[in-house]
Structure formats: C-alpha cells, structure tokens
C-alpha cells in the first residue's frame, strides 16, 4: 500500500500515541483523532493533524471519516478499564461494540483498510485448546470488558470482512509520564510510596507498547484479514513482569523489590474479574510480520 493518509482513532491513549509515532516513522501522513488534546509526542513524532473527536457521538464518526477520507484506519478507541466497564455496561457496549460496528461499516463503504485493536481478555473463562490461545479458540470472556470487546470483533468482521482484528496482550512501556500501562503504573505506585500487589497467578504474554505499535502499522500494508494474535513470546506472571521492569530500570535493589507484594487474585477479591491465564499464541503473526515480537527482557534492554 502506498504511504497515504492514516486516521488513528483513540490516538491519545497509551497505545494510540505510540501508533502515531510508528506510523510517522513508516512514512504515513497521520491524522490523530481523540477526545482529549495535548497528549505527548512519542520520540518527538507528532501527527500531521490533530482532531478533537468524541467517540460516543454516533454522528461524529461518519462526519470524521467524510472529512479525512483516509486510506486506512487504526481503531484503538475503547472503554478499556475493567472496573469502569463493570460499572457502566451500556457505555462499554457503545464504545467497544457499537463504535467498531459503525466504523467498520463506514470503512467498507469507503473502501478503507481497517485494523481494529482488540484484547487477550476476550479469553479466560475456558482453557485454551493448546498451552496458549490461538485464533481458532472461541472467545470465552469473564467480564463486561471482554464480552463487549468480543462482540466488537464479531461486529467488525461482519460489517467489513476484509478488516483485520488484532488481539493484543498486556502492554507495558513508556506512557509519556501518564502512569499508563503495566510498567508506568508500577513506577507511579512506587513513587507514591505504595506497596503495589502483583499477581503470581495471572499469566499473560506481554508486549512492549512501541513494539505492538510497529506491528500494527506493518499490518496496514498487508492483506491479512480476520483475527491475528500479536503478543510477546514469553508467558509470564504479572509479578514476574514487574520484577523484570524494575531490574531493567535499575530498581532491582532489595529495598525496592521488597516494596512489591506478591499476591493472588483471590487475596484481593479479584478472582472472578481477572482470568488466570489469557496467554496468546502468536505463531501466525511471527511468520507473517517482519517486526520481531520481543519478550520483556529483550524489549526492555532495547528501549532507552
């Protein structure tokens, strides 16, 4: 695909800001749409155009696409906090299911390439058929967030069969000082003098956020459609990821490590809302993509 105008929906989020940077590095002209303005430019790479856009206003979606007329869209906007989705299920359905449905319909009508971002948390209620969940495993969400995201996946592929739905895992990395993502949330909690609890019984295949963004941008230029799992190669617990982050940031001293509490989901009353294992099998993505998908130690060593 020739490098043309790319519209990123949800560009101010943790992932979205990195997708802007990855797309600029790949030569796209980037239009960034988000509810809030003034988010950080990752690596000094700012979008060519910023649009303040309310994802919850249905009419604003068609107007935005008609205004921009992009060659491609990355849909990263969502209501992604599990607790918030539990409190506001109707809003979760509107943003995680109906928004993707409408954007997919508009993209199909306009002949626009669509890459929709989904999550490993569409899994967890039933075990994977193999050690990790592959694209052929049926969704089995345990909470409102997972259910609305799974419904959003189905809606996208029903409305726009040529779209690609990319399931991403737990993301970590630089959030531009906003305490977003697994690693910056941990740093912020420690800076506040807290003793954060990290689960020893929750297993994921985490991916550094800029690594995920580069993979998403690469997907724009490919003809892959349907579902694709893009995740790290290592299955680790939240506790193990936290320790790797601290060591990589030079905080592996005993006094720092002692401030991180090893805990279980049940001890914090979260067993019902947090899957024990949402590990993704990214075999297909590793075969398709030139972008290497790195484990925590390799990724953290590569990021300044």
Ramachandran region, residue 194 (left: φ > 0; alpha: ψ -120 to 50; beta: rest): beta
Could you tell me the CA-to-CA distances from 251 to 104, 131, 257, 258 in Å, in that order?
44, 32, 8, 11
- From the list 145, 199, 203, 239, the catalytic residue is 145
Contact (CB, 8 A) for 291 and 166: no
Annotation says 145 is catalytic: yes
Distance, CA of 34 to CA of 51 (rounded, Å):
7
Closest CA to 68 of 29, 105, 41: 29
Distance, CA of 176 to CA of 39 (rounded, Å):
8
Q: Which residue's structure tokens are 């649009």?
A: 51
Distance, CA of 161 to CA of 153 (rounded, Å):
11
Query: In a 10 Å sphere around its CB, with 0-12 CB exposed, 13-18 middle and 19+ buried, how is residue 123 labelled?
Result: buried
For residue 169 the two structure tokens come to 């895992």
Helix (H) or strand (E) holding 165: strand 164-168
Strand segments (E) across 91-141: 113-119
Which residues participate in catalysis according to the annotation? 145
């Amino acid at each position: 695909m020739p490098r043309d105008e790319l519209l990123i929906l949800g560009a101010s989020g943790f992932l979205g800001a990195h997708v802007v940077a990855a797309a600029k590095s790949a030569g796209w002209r980037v239009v960034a749409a988000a509810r809030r303005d003034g988010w950080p430019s990752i690596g000094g790479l700012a979008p060519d155009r910023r649009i303040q856009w309310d994802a919850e206003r249905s009419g604003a979606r068609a107007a935005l696409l008609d205004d921009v007329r992009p060659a491609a869209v990355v849909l990263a906007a969502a209501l992604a906090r599990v607790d918030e989705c539990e409190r506001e299920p109707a809003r979760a359905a509107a943003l995680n299911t109906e928004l993707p449905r409408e954007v997919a319909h508009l993209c199909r009508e306009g002949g626009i390439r669509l890459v929709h971002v989904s999550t490993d948390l569409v899994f967890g209620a039933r075990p994977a058929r193999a050690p990790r969940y592959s694209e052929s495993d049926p969704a089995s969400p345990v909470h409102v967030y997972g259910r609305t995201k799974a419904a959003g996946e189905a809606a996208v592929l029903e409305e726009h069969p040529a779209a690609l739905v990319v399931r991403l895992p737990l993301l970590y990395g630089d959030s531009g000082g906003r305490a977003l993502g697994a690693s910056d949330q941990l740093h912020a909690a420690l800076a506040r003098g807290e003793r954060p609890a990290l689960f020893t019984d929750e297993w994921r295949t985490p991916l550094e956020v800029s690594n995920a963004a580069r993979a998403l941008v690469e997907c724009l230029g490919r003809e892959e459609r349907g579902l694709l799992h893009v995740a790290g190669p290592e299955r680790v617990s939240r506790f193990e990821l936290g320790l790797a982050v601290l060591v990589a940031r030079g905080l592996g001293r005993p006094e720092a490590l002692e401030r991180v509490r090893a805990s279980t989901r049940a001890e914090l009353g979260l067993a019902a809302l947090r899957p024990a294992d949402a590990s993704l099998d990214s075999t297909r993505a590793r075969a398709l993509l030139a972008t290497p998908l790195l484990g925590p130690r390799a990724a953290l060593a590569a990021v300044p």
